[in-house]
Amino acid sequence: MTTRPLILLDPHPRASTDIFDDETRRALDGLGEIVEHAGGPMPAALVEQHLPRASLLLGQTDLPAERLARAPNLRGVINVETNFLANIDYETCFSRGIHVLTPGSAFAPVVAEMALAMAIDLARGITGADRAMRAGDEAWGLAGNTGCFMFSGSAVGLVGYGDLGRALHRLLAPFGCRVRAFDPWLPDYFLRAQGVEPTSLDEVLAQSRTVFVFAGVSSENAGFIARPQFETMQPGSSFLLLSRAAVVDFPEMLRQARIGRLRVATDVFPSEPLAADDPARSTPNLLLSAHRAGALVEALHDIGRQAVADAGLILRGLAPVVCRRAQRETVGRSRSKPIEMS
Segment 286-325, which members bind a second copy (CB under 8 A)? Answer: 287-292, 295-300, 305-306, 308-310, 312-313, 317-319, 321-322
**How far is Cα of residue 265 from the mean position of the Cα atoms in its chain?**
16
Q: Tell how strand 324-325 and strand 99-102 pair up.
A: antiparallel
- Work out whether 329 is an interface residue with a second copy (CB under 8 A): yes
What are the residues facing 179 on neighbouring strands? 156
Phi and psi (nearest 5°) for 206? -75, -30
Out of 69, 133, 222, 259, point to the residue binding a second copy (CB under 8 A).
Answer: 133
Which of residues 13, 36, 53, 145 is near a second copy by CB under 8 A? 145
Are residues 13 and 338 in contact, defined by beta-carbon separation less than 8 angstroms? yes
Is 334 a residue that touches a second copy (CB under 8 A)? no
Select the residue interacting with a second copy from 1, 140, 219, 271 (CB under 8 A). 140
Q: Exactly one of 5, 83, 127, 251 binds a second copy (CB under 8 A); which one? A: 127
CA distance 264 to 117: 13
Question: Does 125 help bind a second copy (rule: CB under 8 A)?
Answer: yes
Neighbours of 51 (CB within 10 A): 22
Least distance between a second copy and beta carbon 38 (Å): 17
Quick note: the x/- pattern for a second copy over 188-227, rule CB under 8 A, is: xxx--x----------------------------------
Could you give the string, one character per residue 150-189, with x where binding to a second copy holds by CB under 8 A and - elsewhere?
xxxx----------------xxxxxx---------xxxxx
Closest CA to 115 of 81, 82, 159: 159
Nearer to a second copy, 232 or 283 (CB): 283
* Strands ordered across the beta sheet of 197-198: 197-198, 178-182, 155-159, 210-213, 238-241, 263-266, 286-288
Of 68, 156, 167, 78, the closest CA to residue 119 belongs to 156
Query: Is 65 near a second copy (CB under 8 A)?
Result: no
Q: Does 15 bind a second copy (CB under 8 A)?
A: no
